[in-house]
Every structure is written in structure tokens, then in C-alpha cells.
């Protein structure tokens, strides 16, 4: 098999209402696809948050066998010129995911089984609790009640935008409405300094958060160490970490109990599987960040994954219509991958045809 064409398809559409986390306000949803065509009629699809380096990287792939993932990863990852971290690694990640899509389709089995298949479903948590205009504590509680009505046994909320006291009151209010048996995660999206995160963790420990995600900047390894020494709340991190080399440095802090890697950022599925093994050997469990279409396959392949992050349809209804095999939400608090071969990124283009754009980059 040979790669004949590498190109991108980008879609962007406005959200009904902007949502805000600890550092960023999101006004649009987007879908960025890398498409890799082959001489055998199989097309692979990969994705990441921005795809600005695909044209250049694609030149390295034409004529190559797409099943040689390791060879092609090494060819693309050239520190100093391309790769290592940031936006170029996003493009490498998306291309690598597309190569696994081709491999899975060629084998005619879904990705999770191609990667080893450890289970058919995985517990999920709902990634919600964002800040939004006009949204107070009452609305936050109503949101959480809705998730419980779906059968959710774990929910996540954002912190880090308001004062420590106001955000602690939000955590208290959510714990009150979900009861003691539902897991509650907090995500600061790097909004705090270490001393603030320590103070905040003391204020909310009595509400038993299951984890405290990205309390400080991803590069602040000392900050993670300091916080972990002063709180009983387990720390989670990894959505902004990249490659096995970055994760090696994160593991060395001994501060993080739950890892949130993202195959669309960390170097694709080839790199993700290496990181998963490193985590297991270090006694660290995983719950990947975002990209639920792809990650549900990895969750069902990798034994040391404890939970899937699940974004409910009200954050992005269009994407649920667009994917041909969307993640299945089961009534027992678990999700399952589609049974079709591939990584799950095949779309119905009719749904998104009015939203195709040249450049879907974030406006920062
Ligand atoms: Mg997060």
C-alpha cells in the first residue's frame, strides 16, 4: 500500500453560547481533519486542534507505506525544524492518527481491538460545569442534575475564574446536588499559582474532589510537587504534555496520580501507547483528555485507563450528527466505541458542508 495524497478539511461553526474555562473563552466549535489517501482506496482520517503544518509534513509521506507508523513518525519528528512541542506536534499527531485509521480499516477491525482490546466499554465522566454568561450556582446545579438523569456516575466542573471563595462555593453547591456517591472532578486549566492552588485545595477538601486537574501551568513541575505535598486531593495533568520525553519529566515529579494525555497533542496513537505503558510502570492511571471519538478506542484497549472524558451533545450537537459512528453512551454509566473498523472519524459531509473554512485556528 502507498500514500498518494495528504490534505486537510477544516470546519468551524459558532456555539449557541460561549463557554469559559480557567483561561480561555470558546466561541466556536471546530473539526480539523487530516485526510490520507492510498492507492488501495482506503482513506485515513486524523484530527487535532489546529493543523498548520500538514502541507509540509505531507511531502514526507507521499509514496510511503502507511502501515510503517514508526518509520513515518520518526521522519516527521525532527526537533529544531519540526516537532518536539506545540502546533507542529499537533499536525504530527493528526497524521499519525490517520495512519492508524488506515491500518485499522485495512485490518477490517475497530481500533480498540487492533490495539489489544481490554474491554467493550469504559466508565465515563461528563466534562461540564463551565462558566457561561448568566450562569450562576442554580444553573450549575441544574446542569449537574441533568447529567445524573442520564446515568452519569462522575462529573467534572471548571474552577479558577472567580475568587477562591466563590469557586469553593460552586464546588460545595455541586457536591450538595450530586450527593456523596458521584465522583466530582475539578479542572483549573492552569489558572492558579501554586500557592493559590494549595489554598483552594484546603478550602474544598471537605467536598471530596476525586481529582484536581491542571491546577498550575503545565511547565510548572515544581508547582505540582509543592501542591501534591500539601493536599490529599489527587492531582491530574497531561493534556498539555507532549511526547514520551515530556511525560518522562512529568512522571519524575511524583506529583501526578491521574494522567490526561491527548493523542491529538502528544504525538498521535503511536506515541500515546508508549506513554500509557510508561504510566502503568510508574503506577499512574489514565483518563484521556477530549477527542472522545478516538480516545474511547484507546480507553477500551489500555488496561490502566480508569475513565473516559465525555462531552455531552449540548456542547456540540452538530458533531454528533456529523460522525457516522459516534461514541455510544450506555445506561450503566459507561461509553463504548463504534463497532466499525477505523478510529471513528469518518463524517457525513452533508451535515458540515456549510461550515468548511480555510483556517479554523483559535483566535487567541
Ligand atoms: Mg482539562
Tens-digit pLDDT profile for residues 22-74: 888 888 889 999 999 999 999 999 999 999 999 999 999 999 999 999 999 99
In a domain, 255, yes or no: yes
CA-nearest of 161, 266, 200 to 276 is 266
Three cell numbers at 232? 490529599
In a domain, 343, yes or no: no
- Pair 103, 169 in one domain: no
- Pair 260, 331 in one domain: yes
| Average pLDDT score over residue span 293-310 | 97
Residue 84 has a pLDDT of: 86
- Pair 195, 265 in one domain: yes
CA of 246 to the centre of ligand 1 (A): 17
In this structure, how many other beta carbons lie within 10 angstroms of the beta carbon of residue 306? 16
- Pair 127, 93 in one domain: no
- Pair 52, 154 in one domain: no
Residue 150 has a pLDDT of: 86
In a domain, 127, yes or no: yes
**DSSP E strand boundaries for 175-262:** 183-187, 211-213, 235-237, 258-259
CA of 264 to the centre of ligand 1 (A): 14
CA of 271 to the centre of ligand 1 (A): 20
CA-nearest of 198, 208, 360, 185 to 289 is 185
Ramachandran bin of 242, using left for φ above 0, alpha for ψ from -120 to 50, beta for the remaining angles: beta
CA of 19 to the centre of ligand 1 (A): 14
In a domain, 361, yes or no: no
CA of 247 to the centre of ligand 1 (A): 16
Residues of the domain holding 33: 3-108+349-356
> Using alpha carbons only, what angle is made at residue 142 by residues 259 and 151, rounded to the nearest 5 degrees?
55
Three cell numbers at 322? 456529523
CA of 260 to the centre of ligand 1 (A): 8
- Pair 7, 80 in one domain: yes
CA of 41 to the centre of ligand 1 (A): 37
CATH number of the domain residue 131 falls in: 3.20.20.120
148-163, pLDDT tens digit by residue?
998 899 999 999 999 9
Query: Is residue 364 predicted with pLDDT exceeding 60?
Result: no
CA of 350 to the centre of ligand 1 (A): 31
Give this prediction's pTM.
0.96
**pLDDT band for position 312 (50/70/90)?**
confident
Query: Is residue 362 predicted with pLDDT exceeding 80?
Result: no
Three cell numbers at 165? 471563595
- Pair 78, 12 in one domain: yes
In a domain, 117, yes or no: yes
Looking at the 3D structure of the chain, how many domains does it have? 2
CA of 289 to the centre of ligand 1 (A): 7
95-141, pLDDT tens digit by residue?
999 999 999 999 999 999 999 999 999 999 999 999 998 999 999 99
CA-nearest of 312, 323, 353, 339 to 155 is 312
In a domain, 132, yes or no: yes
- Pair 139, 226 in one domain: yes
- Pair 32, 101 in one domain: yes
- Pair 32, 125 in one domain: no
Say whether 149 sits in a helix, a strand or coil.
Answer: helix
In a domain, 363, yes or no: no
Give me the chain's average pLDDT, please.
Answer: 95
Burial class (CB in 10 A: 0-12, 13-18, 19+), 289: buried
CA of 189 to the centre of ligand 1 (A): 5
List residues bridging with 237 in a β-sheet: 259
- Pair 96, 127 in one domain: no
Write phi, then psi, for 44 (nearest 5 degrees): -100, 145
Q: How far apart are CA 328 and CA 187, in angstroms?
A: 25
CA of 290 to the centre of ligand 1 (A): 8
CA of 127 to the centre of ligand 1 (A): 9
111-128 b/e (C-beta count within 10 Å ≥ 16 → b): bbbbbeeeeebbbbbbbb
Q: How far is CA 299 from CA 143, 195, 288, 327, in A?
A: 26, 34, 8, 12
> Using alpha carbons only, what angle is made at residue 46 by residues 44 and 49, rounded to the nearest 5 degrees?
160
- Pair 15, 78 in one domain: yes
Query: Is residue 21 predicted with pLDDT exceeding 60?
Result: yes
CATH number of the domain residue 39 falls in: 3.30.390.10
CA of 187 to the centre of ligand 1 (A): 6
CA of 205 to the centre of ligand 1 (A): 19
In a domain, 344, yes or no: no
317-333, pLDDT tens digit by residue?
888 889 999 998 898 88
202-240, pLDDT tens digit by residue?
999 999 999 999 999 999 999 999 999 999 999 999 999
The DSSP-derived string for 305-328 is B--EEE--GGG-HHHHHHBSSPPE
**DSSP E strand boundaries for the chain:** 3-20, 25-38, 43-47, 122-127, 154-158, 183-187, 211-213, 235-237, 258-259, 285-286, 308-310, 328-329, 334-336, 356-357
Amino acid at each position: 500500500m502507498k500514500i498518494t495524497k495528504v490534505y486537510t478539511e477544516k470546519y468551524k461553526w459558532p456555539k449557541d453560547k460561549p463557554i469559559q474555562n480557567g483561561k480561555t473563552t470558546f466561541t466556536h466549535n471546530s473539526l480539523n481533519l487530516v485526510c490520507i489517501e492510498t492507492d488501495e482506496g482506503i482513506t485515513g482520517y486524523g484530527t487535532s486542534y489546529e493543523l498548520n503544518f500538514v502541507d509540509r509534513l505531507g511531502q514526507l509521506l507521499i509514496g510511503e507505506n502507511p502501515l510503517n507508523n514508526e518509520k513515518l513518525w520518526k521522519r516527521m519528528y525532527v526537533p529544531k525544524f519540526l516537532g518536539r512541542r506545540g502546533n507542529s506536534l499537533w499536525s504530527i499527531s493528526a497524521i499519525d492518527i490517520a495512519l492508524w485509521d488506515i491500518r485499522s480499516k485495512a485490518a477490517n477491525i475497530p481500533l480498540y481491538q487492533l490495539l489489544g482490546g481490554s474491554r467493550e466499554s469504559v466508565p465515563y465522566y461528563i466534562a461540564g460545569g463551565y462558566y457561561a454568561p448568566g450562569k450562576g450556582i442554580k444553573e450549575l446545579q441544574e446542569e449537574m442534575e441533568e447529567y445524573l438523569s442520564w446515568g452519569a456516575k462522575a462529573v467534572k466542573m471548571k474552577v479558577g475564574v472567580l475568587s477562591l471563595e466563590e469557586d469553593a462555593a460552586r464546588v460545595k453547591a455541586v457536591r450538595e446536588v450530586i450527593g456523596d456517591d458521584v465522583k466530582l472532578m475539578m479542572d483549573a486549566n492552569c489558572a492558579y499559582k501554586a500557592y493559590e492552588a494549595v489554598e483552594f485545595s484546603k478550602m474544598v477538601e471537605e467536598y471530596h474532589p476525586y481529582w484536581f486537574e491542571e491546577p498550575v501551568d503545565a511547565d510548572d513541575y515544581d508547582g505540582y510537587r509543592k501542591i501534591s505535598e500539601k493536599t490529599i486531593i489527587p492531582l491530574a495533568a497531561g493534556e498539555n504534555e507532549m511526547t514520551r520525553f515530556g511525560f518522562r519529566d512529568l512522571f519524575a515529579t511524583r506529583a501526578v496520580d491521574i494522567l490526561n494525555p491527548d493523542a491529538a497533542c502528544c504525538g498521535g496513537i503511536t506515541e500515546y501507547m508508549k506513554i500509557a505503558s510508561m504510566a502503568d510502570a510508574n503506577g499512574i492511571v489514565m483518563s484521556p483528555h477530549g477527542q472522545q471519538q478516538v480516545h474511547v478506542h484507546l480507553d477500551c484497549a489500555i488496561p490502566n485507563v480508569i475513565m473516559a472524558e465525555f462531552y455531552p451533545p449540548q456542547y456540540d450537537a452538530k458533531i454528533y450528527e456529523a460522525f457516522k459512528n459516534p461514541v455510544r453512551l450506555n445506561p450503566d454509566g459507561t461509553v463504548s466505541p463504534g463497532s466499525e473498523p477505523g478510529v471513528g472519524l469518518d463524517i457525513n459531509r452533508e451535515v458540515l458542508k456549510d461550515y468548511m473554512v480555510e483556517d479554523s485556528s483559535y483566535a487567541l
